[in-house]
Structure 1
Amino acid sequence: MNQNNWQKTVLHAEQIRKSFGVRGNVQQVLRGIDLRVVEGEFVGIMGPSGSGKSTLINVLATIDKATEGKIFVEDADISNMKNAELSIFRRNKLGFIFQDYNLLDTLTVKENILLPISLGKMKKKAAEVEFQAIAADLGILEIAHKYPHEISGGQRQRTSAARALIHRPSIVFADEPTGALDSKAASSLLGMMEGLNRQRSLTIMMVTHDPVASSYCSRVVFLKDGMLYSELYRGTKTRQAFFKDIMNVQAVLGGDHVDTV
């Protein structure tokens, strides 16, 4: 999917800069990044260690604050929101999938998934409809009554994904979502995310070091030294062909060896 002017912009970042440290010892991690994500894109963010990819997604996802720049989610300028306002916005508009699941051990799979909307105004019947749909799509309906310690790592991550999607967020941020999974569980999760992206026009931004994971995306953005280096669009290519394109760019940038698709 290429970015077309007629497509709805979900996220727009303007000249994002992020520095750490104090005067005399300042490290610039992000150096003026401009980025636009449109509805229905599945965007991968890649780059060598230290390129700024994790810092970028943390800033875009409101986990951290940019030193300079503007960030818009749909029509809302989130750059200068106060903490209380930002908390409500995050709960209603953003979804998060983390590498370490972040599930509550004392809650069942279903209770974990429903947690984000338990604080909102969705009626119980509507919440049940949403739960049934997303749990079925992610293949975890049959384990809804179980607790996190009773299920596999792949099932925990799919539970985490369902929790991120239950309230139909404008955009989902995924930070190395397959990092703790074996290859089979990772492929299963990524295939489901790709399917939801297409079926629901779900907008996803995913940081990963793995070209195999990025090959499921519709676009991959590469960072180098805190700046945008390059980007690739999958278009009509097969996942295998897109993987080769990603590997070619990564070979220039430098990166860890990975298995082929």
Structure 2
Amino acid sequence: MKMQDRLQKTVLLAQQVYKSYGARGNVQQVLRGIDLRVLEGEFVGIMGPSGSGKSTLLNVLATIDTATKGAIFLEDTDIAAMNNTELSAFRRKKLGFIFQDYNLLDTLTVKENILLPISLGKRNKQAAEADYQAIAANLGIGEIAHKFLYEISGGQRQRTSAARALIHRPSLVFADEPTGALDSKAASSLLGTLEELNRERSITIMMVTHDPLASSYCSRVVFLKDGALYSELYRGSKTRETFFKDILNVQAVLGGDRVDPV
């Protein structure tokens, strides 16, 4: 472990995490002994070929699914020790989620969707409005506050989803293929904003993606193969273009989906 790693707070710690599906005689092992530590302020990408366990790992770490075996700690809290009610409250307070299909409510405006995570809490209206104004400005969606989803673009919907994930200041944001439904311009714009928020506000993000271009915005990329950790890359002081090429090189050895260099 690097010296600077020891000085940073551990947000997530996974130890020997296994996940299998099926019954005796027909068991599919999806995750195989995953060990992973995520530090505060990291932007971690999770990559691997189709079927490598990327989304399963995210779901297990995000408390959406349960591990078959192993330990997972989120800010020193053992998630296996919590019941469903406690997990629900923990997710609402500590975690943020950005999904490929947005998961927004059609009956609410952009602003109402963003404010939803804190509407169930005890934050007063003035504080909630201040939080909304700040995150809407960060994501460039202040002008569409009172529009409904059918009135805005896919890129604006995903920015709304990101604002909703961030407004309650979560300890960790999980993003599952957040650019999968976006065109290249909207995807690059969103990723650039997430990178900026990560850098300037130390927001901790874990993003599952099949796209090496998306991963090049991360500070670290972890590669899975057959449900196990295969390799990892740190961006460090590299340019995004150089890091992108490094990711492509690992992906070429690993196999799976390819994206031509740009």
1:32-71 equivalences under 5 Å are 32-71=33-72
Report Cα offsets for 1:74-130 as digits up to 9, x if no partner. Answer: 121112310000000000000000000011011000000000000011111100000
Between the aligned residues of both structures, percent identity stands at 81
Structure 1 stretches of at least 4 aligned residues deviating more than 6 Å after TM superposition: none
Could you tell me how far apart the structure 2 residues matched to 1:45 and 1:30 are? 13
Matched, 1:217 2:218: yes
AA of the residue aligned to 1:135: A
SS in structure 2 at match of 1:255: coil
Could you tell me how far apart the structure 2 residues matched to 1:140 and 1:75 are? 35
AA of the residue aligned to 1:36: R
1:106-145 equivalences under 5 Å are 106-145=107-146
Could you tell me how far apart the structure 2 residues matched to 1:180 and 1:2 are? 39
Could you tell me how far apart the structure 2 residues matched to 1:69 and 1:192 are? 34
Matched, 1:228 2:229: yes
AA of the residue aligned to 1:84: T
Could you tell me how far apart the structure 1 residues matched to 2:97 and 2:29 are? 26
Equivalences, count: 261
**8 Å contact 1:44–1:214 — kept in the other structure?**
yes
1:172 alignment counterpart: 173
Could you tell me how far apart the structure 2 residues matched to 1:9 and 1:3 are? 12
Give, in angstroms, the shift of residue 259 of structure 1. 3.5
1:198 alignment counterpart: 199
**8 Å contact 1:99–1:179 — kept in the other structure?**
yes
Please give the root-mean-square deviation of Cα atoms over the aligned residues, in Å. Answer: 1.1
Give, in angstroms, the shift of residue 260 of structure 1. 2.5
**8 Å contact 1:2–1:233 — kept in the other structure?**
no
Give, in angstroms, the shift of residue 3 of structure 1. 6.1
Give, in angstroms, the shift of residue 171 of structure 1. 0.1
Could you tell me how far apart the structure 1 residues matched to 2:166 and 2:248 are? 30
**8 Å contact 1:42–1:197 — kept in the other structure?**
yes
Give TM-score, length-normalised by structure 1: 0.98
Report Cα offsets for 1:140-175 as digits up to 9, x if no partner. Answer: 000001001100000000000000000000000000
- Alpha carbons of structure 1 residues 145 and 53: separation in structure 2 relative to 1, 3 Å: same
SS in structure 1 at match of 2:7: coil
Give, in angstroms, the shift of residue 255 of structure 1. 2.0
